[in-house]
Structure 1
Amino acid sequence: MKYLLGIDFGGGASKATLIGDDGKIYATHTTEYETIYSKPGFAEQNPEEWVSATIENIKGVLSKSRVDAGDIIAISLDAATHTAVIMDENFKPIRNAIYWTDTRSTKEVEFLKENYADVIDKEVLHKPDTIWTLPELLWIKNNDKENWANVEKILFAKDYVRHKLTGDYVTDYIEAEGSMMFDINTLKWSDELLGILGLDASMMPEIKKPTDIVGTVTKEAELLTGLKEGTKVLCGTTDTVMEVFASGAVKKGQMTLKLATAGRICVITDKPYPDVNLINYSHVIDSLFYPGTATKSCAASYRWFRDTFGGDYKELDKMAQSIPIGSDGLVFHPYLNGELTPYANPNLCADFVGVRASHTKAHFTRSVLEGVAMSMLDSKEALDSLNIEHDDAAVIIGGGGKSPLWRQMISDALGIKLYEMKYADSSFGSAMLAGVAMGIFENYEDALNKCNEVISETLPNEENTKQYRKLFKKYKAVQKALEPIYNGNY
Structure 2
Amino acid sequence: MKYVIGVDLGTSAVKTVLVNPQGEVVHEHSEAYPLSRPEPGWSEQNPEDWVDKTLVSLRRLMEKSSADPQEVEGLSFSGQMHGLVLVDAEGKVLRPAILWNDTRTTAQCRKIENTLESKLLSIAKNRALEGFTLPKILWVQENEPDILSQASLFLLPKDYVRYRLSGEYAMDYSDAAGTLLLDVSGKTWSQDIAAAFDLPLSLCPPLVESFDQTGTLLPDIAEASGLLPSTKVFAGGADNACGAIGAGILQEGQTMCSIGTSGVVLSFESRKELEVDGKLHFFNHSEKDAYYVMGVTLAAGHSLTWFKETFAKEKSFDELLEGIGSIPAGSSGLLFTPYISGERTPHPDADIRGSFIGMDSGHTLSHFARAVLEGITFSLRESIDIVRESGKEIHEVVAIGGGARNETWLQMQADIFNATIIKLESEQGPAMGAAMLAAYGCGWFPSLTDCAKAFIRPAKTYAPNAERAELYSGLFSLYQEVYSQTRELNRKLVPYRN
Is 2:353 the counterpart of 1:369? no
Report SS of the residue matched to 1:488: helix
Is 2:127 the counterpart of 1:124? no
Equivalence map 1:80-479=2 (5 Å) = 80-184=80-184, 186-272=186-272, 273=274, 274-309=276-311, 310=313, 311-387=315-391, 389-424=392-427, 425-479=429-483
Report SS of the residue matched to 2:81: coil
How many residues align? The count is 489
Letter in 2 for 1:290: Y
Distance 2:330 2:33 in 1: 34
Distance 2:382 2:185 in 1: 32
Shift of 1:354: 2.9
Runs of 4+ in 1 over 6 A off after TM superposition: none
Letter in 2 for 1:171: M
Distance 1:51 1:238 in 2: 17
The alignment-based identity, stated in percent, is 29
Shift of 1:450: 1.8
Report SS of the residue matched to 2:421: strand
**Counterpart residue number, 2:74:** 74
Distance 1:321-1:185 versus aligned 2 partners, 3 A rule: closer
Shift of 1:378: 1.9
Shift of 1:239: 1.1
Report SS of the residue matched to 1:427: helix
Tell whether the 8 Å contact from 2:242 to 2:433 is kept in structure 1 after alignment.
Answer: yes
Shift of 1:377: 1.6
Distance 2:109 2:479 in 1: 28
Which segment is superposed worse, 104-113 or 84-93? Answer: 84-93
Tell whether the 8 Å contact from 2:84 to 2:154 is kept in structure 1 after alignment.
Answer: yes
Shift of 1:479: 2.1
TM-score, reference length from structure 1: 0.95
Per-residue displacement from partner, 1:138-177 (whole Å, max 9, x unpaired)? 1122223343343222111111111111111111122111
Which segment is superposed worse, 480-489 or 344-353? Answer: 480-489
Report SS of the residue matched to 2:7: strand
Shift of 1:371: 0.9
Letter in 1 for 2:225: T
Per-residue displacement from partner, 1:386-416 (whole Å, max 9, x unpaired)? 22x2341111122221221211111111111
**Counterpart residue number, 2:41:** 41
Distance 2:267 2:150 in 1: 41
Distance 2:59 2:348 in 1: 41
Report SS of the residue matched to 2:281: coil
Shift of 1:349: 0.8
Report SS of the residue matched to 1:222: helix
Structure 1: unaligned runs, 5 residues or longer: none
Report SS of the residue matched to 2:291: coil
Per-residue displacement from partner, 1:453-481 (whole Å, max 9, x unpaired)? 11010111122222222322332222221
Distance 2:368 2:60 in 1: 36
Report SS of the residue matched to 2:269: coil
Tell whether the 8 Å contact from 2:125 to 2:278 is kept in structure 1 after alignment.
Answer: no
Distance 1:73-1:466 versus aligned 2 partners, 3 A rule: same
Tell whether the 8 Å contact from 2:184 to 2:284 is kept in structure 1 after alignment.
Answer: no
Letter in 2 for 1:275: D
- CA RMSD for the aligned pairs? 1.9
Structure 2: unaligned runs, 5 residues or longer: none
Which segment is superposed worse, 298-307 or 330-339? Answer: 298-307
